[in-house]
Structure 1
Amino acid sequence: MKTQEYTARQTIMVHDYAGHPFTAELSRELARNGYIVHHVFFAGDKGPKGRNLREADDPDLLTFHAVDIDRDYSKTNLFARRSCDIEYGNKIAALIGKLRPDIVLSGNTPTETQEPILKATKKHAAKFIFWCQDFYSIAAKEILSKKIPVLGAMIGSYYTHLEKRQMRNSDHIVHITEAFRQQTDEWGIPAENVSVIPNWAAISAISVRDRENSWSAAQQLSKGRRIIYSGTLALKHNPRLLLALAESIDPPDELIVIANGVGMDWLREQKLNKPTLRCLPLQPIEVFEEVLASSDVLVAVIEEDAGRFSVPSKVLSYLCAGRPIVLAAPADNLAAQIVEETKAGLTSGPQDIDAFVKSVHSFLNSPKDRRLSGAAGRSYAEQTFQIDKVAEAFRRVFVEV
C-alpha cells in the first residue's frame, strides 16, 4: 500500500535530545514522504549537532524546534543536572500540548526528561514511541555506584524504576540493537511491543574527501600522520587511552582530539609539553566530512561498564569517511562487532592501552591496510545506511501504533 494512505494528515514529533545528524536526516525523509514533522532537540546540550536548521530544499512539512532552558546545563553536578533535565522535559511537554502531534518518537533522552514528555503525550491522546538508544537507568546505576557507592546505587534503582515504567507505558519501543531485547524481556515488556531498527549515519553528508582540504589547511595540521577522535568525551569514555596514544607518537605525527565533556577537560589538563596532542572544540557540521577526511586513522573509545548499553554513533559516521577505525570497546558492543565483521578496522578491550596503541600504529605503518579497511567501512555504509529503507522501517512502526 502507498505511504500516503497512512500518512495523510498525520503529525509526527521526532524528539532527539542530543540533536544528532542522523535523526535530522530521518525527519527530512519522513517529511518527504508526506508526514508533517516537527523535529525537536535540546539547544543547551553541548554535544555534536546535525543539520538542525531549515535548508533551501527541505520539504514544507518539516519544522525544526531548538528548545532551551533558562540557565546553563550542567553535566557535572548531579542535582543541577536533574533539575535541568526536568525543566527541559516540561518545556517539551508544553510544546506537545501546543503542536498536538499524533505520534511522539523520543530518543537520546534522560530518564527524568522522558517522564513529562510521556505524560504529555498520553494527556493529549497521542501515541508514544520510546526510541531506546541506550538504557539511561543502567548507566546511572553502574556509574554512580562507583562514584558514590551507597547513594549512587539508590539513585540508580530509582531511575531503573522510572525507565521500566516508561517503557511499559509506551505504545511501542524501538531498540537500536537486538541485544537490548534482553533487558525489556526481563522487565516483562511484550515482544510484540518492541522493534529493532539499527542506527545509521547520514552518509549523504559524509563523502570520501581528500586528506588535504580546506579544514586541514585552516587548522594548519601537520603534514605527518594524523589520528583523529571526534565526538563527546564523557564519563563513559577513557581519555587515558588517548593520552597514551599521544605519548606513543613523535612529531610531525599528531593526535587531534575534537570533543567536549569532562573527559576532554581532563585531557586538556594533561596536555602540557605534549606536542603530539592537539585539543579542539567540536566543529560545525558543515565541515564534519572534511574533519574526518583529514585523518589517517580514526579512533573511538567506550568504557567496559558502558559498552553493553551504549553504541557510539561516532563510529557509524567514521564508517562513511573511508578511513580505518581503531575502537576500544567491549567485544559484545554492536559497534565493535561491526568494525570486526566488516574489517573496517581493529578493536581492543577498553582498558587495554597497549593493544589500543599497537592497533593504531599497525595502521600508521601500513598505507595498504589503511586503504583496505577504509574502503571496507565505506562499502558497508553505502549498503546499510540507506535513509529510504530506515524511514520505511519507522513508517511500519507508526502504522502499527
Structure 2
Amino acid sequence: MKILVHDFAGHPFTAELSRSLAARGHNVTHVWFSGDTGPKGRLSLLDDDAETLSFLPLGAKIDYSKTNFVKRRRGDIAYGREVAEVIARTRPDIVLSGNTPTEAQEPIVAACRKAAVPFIYWCQDFYSIAASRLLEAKLPVAGHLIGAYYRFLERRQMRRSARVLHITDSFRAQTDAWGIPATQVEVIPNWGALDEIPLTPRDTPWARAQGLSDQARFVYSGTLAMKHNPAFLSGLAAELAAGEQLVLVSNGVGVDHLQQESAQKDLKALKILPLQPIADLPSILGAGDVLLAVIEREAGIYSVPSKILSYLCAGRPIVLAAPADNLAAQILTQTGAGKVVEPEDIAGFIKAALSYRDDPEGAANAGAAGRAYAEAHFQMDRVCDRFETLFDAARKG
C-alpha cells in the first residue's frame, strides 16, 4: 500500500510504526508539523531504513503560537491545508492522521474525500472536548460557542472517516454518544518504542554529562502543558533531602511556572532542563530512580499520557497522578509497575514517590514489572499486523 501517516506532534512511537510498515514493503510517507515544540521521534532516514520510507516535515513558514488563540487557529488551518496539498498531489491508498487539532484535521479529511482516499481518524484524545473546556473557562460565552463548533467539526470528521481508531476502549463511550457506528470504530492501544529504549545502568552517560547527584533522582520527561499540574512536581521537590534531585526534562507553560516558583521558593532539588535529543531518551529515563507523570482529572478522561509507555520500557518504577479509570493508571495498577494517586492528591503523590526511594527492592520489582509488560505488548510485528488489518478493512469500506 501507499500509506500517508500523519502525526501532528511527531511522536517516537508513530515514527516507529512508519518504519516498520515500510520495512514490510509498503510505501510510507510520514508527515508532521515541524513547528510543534514537543518531544520528537527519529524523524529522518536512518542507514537501515527501507527505501520506501520518506519523512516530510510541513509548516516551517507558519507563524504558530500555543498561547495566542487567533494565531494558533490561523496556523492550524494553514498547516492542515499543507497536508491536504500533499494528499492531493501524492494520492495515497490510505491516510492515517492523529494528534491533530480539529481545524487542522478539517482540510485533511476534505482532501481525502475529494481524492476518494480512505481516511482513518486516529483518536489519541478528543481534541475538541479538551479545547472546549479550556475555552469555556477563559471565555464563558464566546468559549462555549467556539467549543460547540469544534465538537461539531470533530464529530463530523469521525462520521466521514472510513474508520475511527481509538487508543483505549474507554473512548468508545464518546463516539457512541456522537452516533458513530460501532462497526466503524476500532481500538489499538498505543505502545512504547521498546527497541529504542533498552534497559540501562543508572550511571548513564547523560547523567554524568549533566552532573546529576548520586543520591535519589526523580525524573519527569516530556511536555508539561496546561493539563499537567506543576504543583505536584514543586511539592515533591520541596520535600527532597539535600543532594536528592527532581530532574525535569521538558517544555511547555508548566515549565515557565516551575522556573518562577523554583526561584521564589529556592527549590534547590529541582533541576530544569530543555527537551533533549531523542537519542538521549534511554539515558534520561535510565538515570531516574523513580519516573513521574501527572494529568488532571478532566484531561485524564480523554487523554492517555504517552510518556508512561516509554517509562515502562525503561524498567523504572512510576508514580502517576491520574484518574483511576485512565488507561495508563490501569496498566500501572494491574501490573504493579507503579503507583497511582488521584489527580488532586499532591500529598499522596509525594508519599508514593518517596516510598520507592525508601524501598529499593519494591522499586526494582515495579520496574521489572513495567519492562515485562512492555516486552509482552510493544512488539512491532504484532502492532503492524493490527494496522495492516485495519487498513484492509478501511479500504474495503
TM category, shorter: over 0.9
Contact 2:301 2:326 in 1 (8 A): yes
1:197 pairs with 2:166 = no
Runs of 4+ in 1 over 3 A off after TM superposition: none
1:247 pairs with 2:238 = yes
Post-superposition offset of 1:121: 1.1
Partner of 1:6: none
The match for 1:322 among 315, 318, 328 is: 315
Q: Secondary structure at the match of 1:237?
A: coil
Partner of 1:3: none
The C-alpha deviation readout for 1:191-221, integer Å capped at 9, x for no partner, is 1111000000110000110111110011001
Contact 2:4 2:94 in 1 (8 A): yes
Partner of 1:4: none
1:177 pairs with 2:150 = no
Q: Amino acid of the residue matched to residue 50 of structure 1?
A: G
Rounded Cα–Cα distance in structure 1 between residues aligned with 2:107 and 2:382: 31
Q: Secondary structure at the match of 2:201?
A: coil
The C-alpha deviation readout for 1:251-306, integer Å capped at 9, x for no partner, is 20010111111111111111112110011001100110000000000000001110
Contact 1:24 1:39 in 2 (8 A): yes
Partner of 2:213: 222
The match for 1:151 among 137, 142, 145 is: 142
Runs of 5+ in structure 2 lacking a partner? none
Q: Secondary structure at the match of 1:174?
A: strand
The match for 1:374 among 353, 362, 367 is: 367
Contact 2:288 2:316 in 1 (8 A): yes
Tell me how many residue pairs correspond in the alignment: 392
Partner of 2:294: 301
The match for 1:360 among 353, 364, 386 is: 353
Partner of 2:133: 142
1:396 pairs with 2:389 = yes
Rounded Cα–Cα distance in structure 2 between residues aligned with 1:379 and 1:69: 40
Partner of 1:340: 333
Q: TM-score under structure 2 normalisation?
A: 0.97
Q: Secondary structure at the match of 1:65?
A: strand
Runs of 5+ in structure 1 lacking a partner? 1-9
Partner of 2:88: 97
Q: Amino acid of the residue matched to residue 301 of structure 2?
A: R
The match for 1:132 among 123, 130, 152 is: 123
Post-superposition offset of 1:99: 1.4
Post-superposition offset of 1:156: 1.1
Post-superposition offset of 1:248: 0.8
Post-superposition offset of 1:224: 1.1
Contact 2:62 2:78 in 1 (8 A): no
Partner of 2:157: 166
Partner of 1:188: 179
1:237 pairs with 2:257 = no
Rounded Cα–Cα distance in structure 2 between residues aligned with 1:269 and 1:355: 24
Rounded Cα–Cα distance in structure 1 between residues aligned with 2:98 and 2:19: 17
Post-superposition offset of 1:143: 2.1
Q: Secondary structure at the match of 1:306?
A: helix
- Worse overlay, 321-330 or 91-100: 91-100
Q: Secondary structure at the match of 1:251?
A: coil
Q: Secondary structure at the match of 2:302?
A: coil
Q: Secondary structure at the match of 1:355?
A: helix
1:278 pairs with 2:290 = no
Partner of 1:256: 247
Contact 1:69 1:87 in 2 (8 A): no
The C-alpha deviation readout for 1:308-337, integer Å capped at 9, x for no partner, is 100000000000001000000011111001
Partner of 1:19: 10
Post-superposition offset of 1:367: 0.5
Post-superposition offset of 1:235: 0.8
- The two structures, once aligned, show a CA RMSD in angstroms of 0.8
The C-alpha deviation readout for 1:101-130, integer Å capped at 9, x for no partner, is 110000000000000011111111211000
Contact 2:93 2:118 in 1 (8 A): yes
Contact 2:62 2:79 in 1 (8 A): no
The C-alpha deviation readout for 1:55-86, integer Å capped at 9, x for no partner, is 00000110110112424421111111111111
Rounded Cα–Cα distance in structure 2 between residues aligned with 1:237 and 1:148: 21
Q: Secondary structure at the match of 1:235?
A: coil
Post-superposition offset of 1:154: 1.6
Q: Secondary structure at the match of 1:101?
A: coil
1:331 pairs with 2:324 = yes
Rounded Cα–Cα distance in structure 1 between residues aligned with 2:319 and 2:267: 22
Rounded Cα–Cα distance in structure 1 between residues aligned with 2:228 and 2:207: 26
Partner of 1:349: 342
Within a 5 Å distance, the mapping from 1:100-119 to structure 2 comes to 100-119=91-110
Q: TM-score under structure 1 normalisation?
A: 0.97
Rounded Cα–Cα distance in structure 2 between residues aligned with 1:71 and 1:102: 28
The match for 1:53 among 44, 48, 61 is: 44
Partner of 1:70: 61
